[in-house]
Amino acid sequence: MSPSEEQKKPFQLDPILFAHRGGCANAPENTLEAFSHSVALGVTGLESDVWLSADGIPVLSHDNKVGSFGRRITVSKSLRSEIPEKVPSLEDLYINFGNEVNISLDIKDPNSIEATVDVALSHNAVHKLWVCHPDLSVSTPWREINSNFRLVDSPGKRGFPEGGERRAFFLSDNGFDAINLPEPLWTAGYVELFHKYGLKCFAWDAQLPRQIERLINIGIDGIYSDHTDRLLQALNKSKAPRDV
């Protein structure tokens, strides 16, 4: 690893620490219990997934099917009142945690985007709403819905076959705010490239302390992990005085 990848840049802001699915290493995923645990520990971001109920309510669940074995229902075909209470809505998230924490949402159901933005607007939280999707043909038109929420390209493990420069130019030219890649794909060079185009750099699936520490050192702006405690420990470690 080169020195530029090991040494943290001066004056770098702290990355947003996103508790993936609420911090699912410590509590059931996408539940108020998980979100509460992570917020209490001190994370600055919560991550979840969105589906739209049959009556137009953005619901936080990784899958479109929820409920216990043998009694599973489909979120998109069910009224909010028919969905188990343990499955929170986006409204529940804002009611419980206010508008100071960053919220990153993987839009599983594209039909949910307008309702999702509307809920954030109603809580004066749209400026801290990060909306992620893997398909540019789907997400690019979302910029027209509202100019204030944060639009994130999340291409997954395939990255950008067309090359980083072309991807960065397209995202910058079409109103995107960030790109979100799996931890192994990030290098200091890519961080510098996307920053040059005014884009934030987010990294997901950072589960091990060494992974999180590496991301902090190369200047990543947001880190997603199941392990809330490891996120905070790595950030504190990066701030600790070092012997010279």
Output phi, psi for 175, to 5 deg: 80, 15
**Helical axes 228-239 vs 209-217, angle rounded to 10°:** 50
Q: How confident is the model at residue 243 (pLDDT cuts 50, 70, 90)?
A: low
Is the CB of residue 106 less than 8 Å from the CB of residue 49? yes
Spatial CA neighbour of 101 closest among 23, 205, 211, 184: 23
Report CA dihedral (152, 153, 157, 158) to the nearest 10 degrees. Answer: 180
Is 67 a residue whose pLDDT tops 90? no
| pLDDT tens column, 198-213 | 999 999 999 999 999 9
User: Looking at residue 4, what is its pLDDT?
Assistant: 42
DSSP β-bridge partners for residue 181: 203
* Average pLDDT of the residues of the chain: 93
Is the CB of residue 156 less than 8 Å from the CB of residue 183? no
User: Looking at residue 241, what is its pLDDT?
Assistant: 76
For 13-238, which CATH superfamily applies? Phosphatidylinositol (PI) phosphodiesterase (3.20.20.190)
Is 242 a residue whose pLDDT tops 90? no
Residue 44: strand, helix, or coil: coil
Map out the domains of the chain as residue ranges.
13-238
Q: How confident is the model at residue 1 (pLDDT cuts 50, 70, 90)?
A: very low
User: Looking at residue 7, what is its pLDDT?
Assistant: 47
Min mean pLDDT across 15-19, 202-206, 237-241 is at: 237-241
- Please give the model's pTM, rounded to 2 decimal places: 0.92
| pLDDT tens column, 181-196 | 999 999 999 999 999 9
Alpha-carbon separation of residue 52 from 48, 114, 142 (angstroms)? 13, 10, 16
Cα separation, 34 vs 202, in Å, equals: 21
Is the CB of residue 104 less than 8 Å from the CB of residue 132? yes
Q: Output the six-digit token pair for 2.
A: 């080169």
Cα separation, 67 vs 26, in Å, equals: 20
Strand 45-52 and strand 58-60: the pairing is antiparallel
Cα separation, 121 vs 71, in Å, equals: 34
